[in-house]
Amino acid sequence: MSISISGKIPTGSIEVVDEHDAANLQLRLLRDPGDDHLAIGYYHFRASGIRGQSCTYRILDVAEDASARLAGREGYEDGWTNTGPHASYDLKHWFRIPATLEGRDYVFSHVPEHDVCYYARWAPYPPQREMDFIARCQRSPRVSLSTFGRSGLGADLDLMTIGTPGPGKKACWIISRQHPSETMSGYFVEGAVERLLDEHDPIVTSLLQRAVFYVVPNINPDGTQLGHTRANGLGYNLNREWVAPSLERSPEVFHTQALMKKLGVDFCIDCHGDEELRCVFLGGPLEIPSRSEHLDTLFKTFERAWNAASPDYELGHPYPGGSPAEADLRMAWNWIAEEYNCLSVLLEQPFKDTSWWQDPIQGWSPERATRLGRELPTAVHGVLDQLR
């Protein structure tokens, strides 16, 4: 049987250049529409007819096409060094394959045990899994589901409300998948929500007596379906749209801001992933124009509470390249902190692994992302009474 490679799968993304020689399978990354110079790097594809063959995959021109980096990262290892793709035969268990940069190309080899194998920069979070998860959660009496708007291409924007709103209750938000390729956010949300629905968990019971959680499990459904790295379906990076969102460019942010204005915000976590860092990293409201000692103390208290709950959140990792003098309010966590004078944090999970504990089989994995999410309620519980 001949080898066949395809990115025409749910959340798939790759250009097939040459699939005729197992020893030299040539591929190319696809760039998102729009002008974001960082909006390339995600890949997810299916290879069939490969059982027992020594396959070498060569993603061409990565060193040129995907060499752009965020400012201040010169002292950090880039996202293509000392890592490799996740691979899976069943789309459930993902394992890591080592890869190297050879000149301009990103190269990895694999002898598959089965006829079909999936490869991705990091384990995908399938749309069907997201739909099943949301549908399953509505069985809980703690959950109500609603649609609060539509994306640029007409997809529903889902809101999960966990707990019962009432006078004096804190409004705690979880936002996920602004950048669709950062799929660890989906697993993180699963872990957080599953714990919030545990009726036998005393920390959760205490939280929901005093707070309501508003969860946007996927703020960028179009980018997810299209296999984008960072853009929505209209070609815009949602995490640069928070100062002036519009229905023409970023309806997903526009509708989220309108909902926040209606419901209020006392806490927010915006969930992302980082291709270069070897840690779980948090950014806080420390450089916004209305920065204060209270917010600084609150952020540090939250950090310590999460570190105590899970060693996977390590203390002591500085802002990459040094903290900016002023926060970029186009980014969700900064805009929300400034607008609502609240604890709003950025969560970055690694594509690679943590520095304190390396998993040689999976690296940072869906399982660890889910477990990290399960510890979020503990960290929030540690600061809840201090939020206002």
Residues catalogued as catalytic: 348
Q: Which residue has the tokens 């960072």?
A: 230
- Residue 114 and residue 125 in contact, taking contact as beta carbons nearer than 8 Å: no
- Residue 345 and residue 282 in contact, taking contact as beta carbons nearer than 8 Å: yes
Is residue 114 classed exposed, middle or buried when 0-12, 13-18 and 19+ CB atoms within 10 A define those classes?
exposed
- The span from the CA of 190 to the CA of 194, in Å, is 6
Q: What angle do the packed helices 184-196 and 202-210 form, to 10 degrees?
A: 90
- Residue 223 and residue 157 in contact, taking contact as beta carbons nearer than 8 Å: no
- The span from the CA of 310 to the CA of 305, in Å, is 9
Contacts of 370 (CB under 8 A, 6+ apart): 187, 188, 190, 191
- The span from the CA of 320 to the CA of 146, in Å, is 37
